[in-house]
Amino acid sequence: MKFFVDTADTNDIADLAATGLLDGVTTNPSLIAKSGRDFLEVTREICGLVDGPVSAEVVALDHEGMMREAEILRKIADNVCIKVPLTIDGLKTCKKLTSDGTLVNVTLCFSANQALLAAKAGASFVSPFVGRHDDNGFDGMDLIRDIRLIYDNYAFETEILAASIRHPVHVLECARIGADVATMPPAVIRNLVKHVLTDKGIEGFMADWAKTGQSL
Ligand code: E4P
Protein backbone atom coordinates (compact mmCIF):
# COMPACT_ATOMS: atom_id res chain seq x y z
CA MET A 1 0.00 0.00 0.00
CA LYS A 2 1.36 3.39 -0.98
CA PHE A 3 1.26 6.33 1.43
CA PHE A 4 0.66 9.82 0.06
CA VAL A 5 0.46 12.91 2.24
CA ASP A 6 -2.48 15.24 1.68
CA THR A 7 -1.00 18.69 2.22
CA ALA A 8 0.79 21.60 0.56
CA ASP A 9 2.89 22.29 3.65
CA THR A 10 6.46 21.79 2.45
CA ASN A 11 7.87 21.46 5.98
CA ASP A 12 5.58 18.51 6.69
CA ILE A 13 6.32 16.98 3.29
CA ALA A 14 10.11 17.27 3.75
CA ASP A 15 9.88 15.84 7.25
CA LEU A 16 7.79 12.84 6.16
CA ALA A 17 9.83 12.28 2.98
CA ALA A 18 12.94 11.92 5.16
CA THR A 19 11.41 8.76 6.72
CA GLY A 20 11.53 7.03 3.35
CA LEU A 21 7.89 6.00 3.85
CA LEU A 22 6.29 8.62 1.63
CA ASP A 23 5.27 7.59 -1.89
CA GLY A 24 3.61 10.78 -3.11
CA VAL A 25 1.65 13.93 -2.35
CA THR A 26 -1.86 15.15 -3.04
CA THR A 27 -2.95 18.77 -2.98
CA ASN A 28 -6.21 20.50 -3.78
CA PRO A 29 -7.25 24.17 -4.11
CA SER A 30 -8.22 24.32 -0.41
CA LEU A 31 -4.80 23.01 0.68
CA ILE A 32 -3.05 25.48 -1.64
CA ALA A 33 -5.12 28.31 -0.11
CA LYS A 34 -4.20 27.06 3.37
CA SER A 35 -0.47 27.14 2.49
CA GLY A 36 -0.77 30.83 1.55
CA ARG A 37 1.74 30.19 -1.25
CA ASP A 38 1.76 30.68 -5.01
CA PHE A 39 0.28 27.53 -6.62
CA LEU A 40 2.95 26.96 -9.27
CA GLU A 41 5.84 27.84 -6.96
CA VAL A 42 4.74 25.56 -4.12
CA THR A 43 3.92 22.72 -6.53
CA ARG A 44 7.41 22.99 -8.04
CA GLU A 45 8.95 22.83 -4.57
CA ILE A 46 6.85 19.80 -3.59
CA CYS A 47 7.81 17.97 -6.80
CA GLY A 48 11.45 18.38 -5.79
CA LEU A 49 10.85 16.90 -2.34
CA VAL A 50 9.40 13.53 -3.44
CA ASP A 51 10.08 11.17 -6.33
CA GLY A 52 6.49 9.92 -6.53
CA PRO A 53 3.39 11.55 -8.02
CA VAL A 54 2.32 15.01 -6.85
CA SER A 55 -1.33 15.73 -7.60
CA ALA A 56 -2.03 19.30 -8.67
CA GLU A 57 -5.67 20.14 -9.32
CA VAL A 58 -7.08 22.11 -12.24
CA VAL A 59 -9.58 24.83 -11.35
CA ALA A 60 -11.29 25.22 -14.73
CA LEU A 61 -14.61 23.43 -15.05
CA ASP A 62 -14.67 23.04 -18.85
CA HIS A 63 -12.54 20.65 -20.91
CA GLU A 64 -10.68 23.34 -22.87
CA GLY A 65 -9.84 25.24 -19.70
CA MET A 66 -8.70 22.06 -17.95
CA MET A 67 -6.44 21.19 -20.91
CA ARG A 68 -4.97 24.69 -20.86
CA GLU A 69 -4.25 24.49 -17.13
CA ALA A 70 -2.90 20.93 -17.42
CA GLU A 71 -0.41 22.18 -20.02
CA ILE A 72 0.92 24.69 -17.49
CA LEU A 73 0.97 22.19 -14.61
CA ARG A 74 2.61 19.30 -16.42
CA LYS A 75 5.55 21.49 -17.42
CA ILE A 76 6.43 21.90 -13.73
CA ALA A 77 8.05 18.48 -13.33
CA ASP A 78 7.86 14.88 -14.59
CA ASN A 79 6.16 13.71 -11.39
CA VAL A 80 3.18 16.08 -11.63
CA CYS A 81 -0.13 14.23 -11.68
CA ILE A 82 -3.01 16.30 -13.06
CA LYS A 83 -6.03 16.18 -10.79
CA VAL A 84 -9.41 16.62 -12.45
CA PRO A 85 -12.92 16.52 -10.96
CA LEU A 86 -15.24 13.62 -11.64
CA THR A 87 -17.42 15.39 -14.23
CA ILE A 88 -17.95 14.73 -17.92
CA ASP A 89 -15.40 17.46 -18.74
CA GLY A 90 -13.00 16.02 -16.18
CA LEU A 91 -13.32 12.53 -17.66
CA LYS A 92 -12.85 13.86 -21.19
CA THR A 93 -9.72 15.67 -20.03
CA CYS A 94 -8.52 12.51 -18.26
CA LYS A 95 -8.92 10.43 -21.43
CA LYS A 96 -7.01 12.97 -23.49
CA LEU A 97 -4.18 13.49 -21.02
CA THR A 98 -3.60 9.80 -20.21
CA SER A 99 -3.55 8.87 -23.91
CA ASP A 100 -0.18 10.63 -24.16
CA GLY A 101 1.18 9.25 -20.89
CA THR A 102 0.33 12.06 -18.46
CA LEU A 103 -0.56 10.90 -14.93
CA VAL A 104 -4.14 11.80 -14.00
CA ASN A 105 -5.95 11.60 -10.66
CA VAL A 106 -9.74 11.78 -10.97
CA THR A 107 -10.95 13.32 -7.74
CA LEU A 108 -14.20 13.89 -5.82
CA CYS A 109 -15.40 10.33 -6.41
CA PHE A 110 -18.45 9.40 -4.33
CA SER A 111 -19.89 6.37 -6.12
CA ALA A 112 -18.64 3.10 -7.58
CA ASN A 113 -20.19 3.99 -10.95
CA GLN A 114 -18.17 7.21 -10.99
CA ALA A 115 -15.05 5.13 -10.29
CA LEU A 116 -15.97 2.81 -13.16
CA LEU A 117 -16.12 5.83 -15.46
CA ALA A 118 -12.74 7.07 -14.22
CA ALA A 119 -11.18 3.68 -15.00
CA LYS A 120 -12.77 3.65 -18.46
CA ALA A 121 -11.28 7.13 -19.03
CA GLY A 122 -7.86 5.62 -18.30
CA ALA A 123 -7.26 7.38 -14.97
CA SER A 124 -3.97 6.60 -13.25
CA PHE A 125 -5.72 7.16 -9.90
CA VAL A 126 -9.29 7.55 -8.72
CA SER A 127 -9.88 9.36 -5.41
CA PRO A 128 -12.91 8.17 -3.43
CA PHE A 129 -13.46 10.53 -0.47
CA VAL A 130 -13.96 8.25 2.54
CA GLY A 131 -14.37 10.85 5.32
CA ARG A 132 -16.76 13.11 3.41
CA HIS A 133 -18.78 10.01 2.49
CA ASP A 134 -19.03 9.06 6.18
CA ASP A 135 -19.95 12.65 7.09
CA ASN A 136 -23.01 12.38 4.88
CA GLY A 137 -24.36 9.19 6.38
CA PHE A 138 -22.81 6.70 3.95
CA ASP A 139 -20.12 4.11 4.67
CA GLY A 140 -16.91 5.23 3.03
CA MET A 141 -15.48 1.73 3.31
CA ASP A 142 -18.38 0.24 1.33
CA LEU A 143 -17.37 2.59 -1.45
CA ILE A 144 -13.74 1.41 -1.38
CA ARG A 145 -14.92 -2.23 -1.25
CA ASP A 146 -17.22 -1.82 -4.26
CA ILE A 147 -14.56 -0.08 -6.32
CA ARG A 148 -11.99 -2.80 -5.47
CA LEU A 149 -14.46 -5.49 -6.57
CA ILE A 150 -15.31 -3.75 -9.85
CA TYR A 151 -11.71 -2.96 -10.73
CA ASP A 152 -10.69 -6.56 -10.01
CA ASN A 153 -13.62 -7.92 -12.06
CA TYR A 154 -12.32 -6.15 -15.14
CA ALA A 155 -8.60 -5.97 -14.30
CA PHE A 156 -8.62 -2.16 -14.52
CA GLU A 157 -5.19 -0.73 -13.78
CA THR A 158 -6.47 2.52 -12.26
CA GLU A 159 -5.17 2.74 -8.70
CA ILE A 160 -7.67 3.28 -5.88
CA LEU A 161 -6.37 6.31 -3.96
CA ALA A 162 -8.42 6.43 -0.76
CA ALA A 163 -8.80 10.12 0.11
CA SER A 164 -10.41 12.23 2.82
CA ILE A 165 -8.86 9.88 5.37
CA ARG A 166 -9.48 11.14 8.90
CA HIS A 167 -7.87 8.64 11.30
CA PRO A 168 -5.76 5.46 11.56
CA VAL A 169 -8.80 3.13 11.53
CA HIS A 170 -9.63 4.42 8.04
CA VAL A 171 -6.10 3.45 6.97
CA LEU A 172 -6.42 -0.01 8.51
CA GLU A 173 -9.75 -0.65 6.79
CA CYS A 174 -8.43 0.56 3.44
CA ALA A 175 -5.43 -1.76 3.79
CA ARG A 176 -7.73 -4.70 4.62
CA ILE A 177 -9.83 -4.02 1.53
CA GLY A 178 -6.81 -3.51 -0.69
CA ALA A 179 -6.88 0.17 -1.62
CA ASP A 180 -3.69 0.82 -3.61
CA VAL A 181 -2.94 4.16 -1.96
CA ALA A 182 -4.11 6.14 1.06
CA THR A 183 -3.60 9.88 1.11
CA MET A 184 -3.57 11.20 4.64
CA PRO A 185 -3.08 14.45 6.51
CA PRO A 186 0.42 14.56 8.09
CA ALA A 187 -1.00 14.00 11.60
CA VAL A 188 -2.68 10.74 10.55
CA ILE A 189 0.58 9.37 9.10
CA ARG A 190 2.39 10.28 12.31
CA ASN A 191 -0.36 8.70 14.43
CA LEU A 192 0.05 5.35 12.67
CA VAL A 193 3.30 4.72 14.52
CA LYS A 194 1.92 5.40 17.98
CA HIS A 195 1.09 2.68 20.47
CA VAL A 196 1.00 3.02 24.25
CA LEU A 197 2.62 -0.41 24.70
CA THR A 198 5.50 0.55 22.39
CA ASP A 199 6.17 3.64 24.56
CA LYS A 200 5.80 1.63 27.75
CA GLY A 201 8.11 -1.10 26.40
CA ILE A 202 10.82 1.42 25.49
CA GLU A 203 10.53 3.03 28.91
CA GLY A 204 10.97 -0.36 30.63
CA PHE A 205 13.93 -1.39 28.47
CA MET A 206 15.64 1.97 29.03
CA ALA A 207 15.19 1.71 32.81
CA ASP A 208 16.64 -1.83 32.87
CA TRP A 209 19.48 -0.88 30.53
CA ALA A 210 20.44 1.99 32.86
CA LYS A 211 20.78 -0.55 35.67
CA THR A 212 23.47 -2.44 33.74
CA GLY A 213 25.75 0.62 33.85
CA GLN A 214 26.85 -0.18 30.29
CA SER A 215 26.97 2.08 27.23
CA LEU A 216 27.31 1.51 23.51
C1 E4P B 1 -7.78 14.23 -1.88
O2 E4P B 1 -6.93 14.23 -2.75
C3 E4P B 1 -8.24 15.41 -1.17
O4 E4P B 1 -7.23 16.38 -1.23
C5 E4P B 1 -8.51 15.18 0.30
O6 E4P B 1 -8.21 13.87 0.71
C7 E4P B 1 -9.77 15.76 0.80
O8 E4P B 1 -9.87 15.51 2.19
P9 E4P B 1 -10.85 16.31 3.16
O10 E4P B 1 -12.21 15.74 3.02
O11 E4P B 1 -10.28 16.08 4.52
O12 E4P B 1 -10.79 17.76 2.72
Please count the structural domains in the chain.
1
Q: Closest Cα to atom 9, ligand 1: which residue?
A: 164
The domain that contains 18 carries what CATH number? 3.20.20.70
Given this model, what pLDDT does residue 100 score? 92
- Evaluate whether 182 touches 165 at the Cβ level (below 8 Å): yes
Share of the chain above pLDDT 90, in %: 100
Interval 12-20 mean pLDDT: 98
Given this model, what pLDDT does residue 119 score? 98
Q: Closest Cα to atom 12, ligand 1: which residue?
A: 164
How far apart are the C-alpha atoms of 102 and 58, rounded to whole Å?
14
Catalytic residue among 2, 34, 75, 83: 83
Query: Ligand 1 center to residue 9 CA distance, Å?
Result: 14
Q: Closest Cα to atom 5, ligand 1: which residue?
A: 164
Query: Ligand 1 center to residue 164 CA distance, Å?
Result: 4
- Alpha carbon of residue 41 to chain centroid: 20
pTM: 0.96
Tens digit of pLDDT for each residue in 152-202? Answer: 999 999 999 999 999 999 999 999 999 999 999 999 999 999 999 999 999
First to last CA, the chain: 36
Q: Which domain holds residue 122?
A: 2-212
Tens digit of pLDDT for each residue in 29-81? Answer: 999 999 999 999 999 999 999 999 999 999 999 999 999 999 999 999 999 99
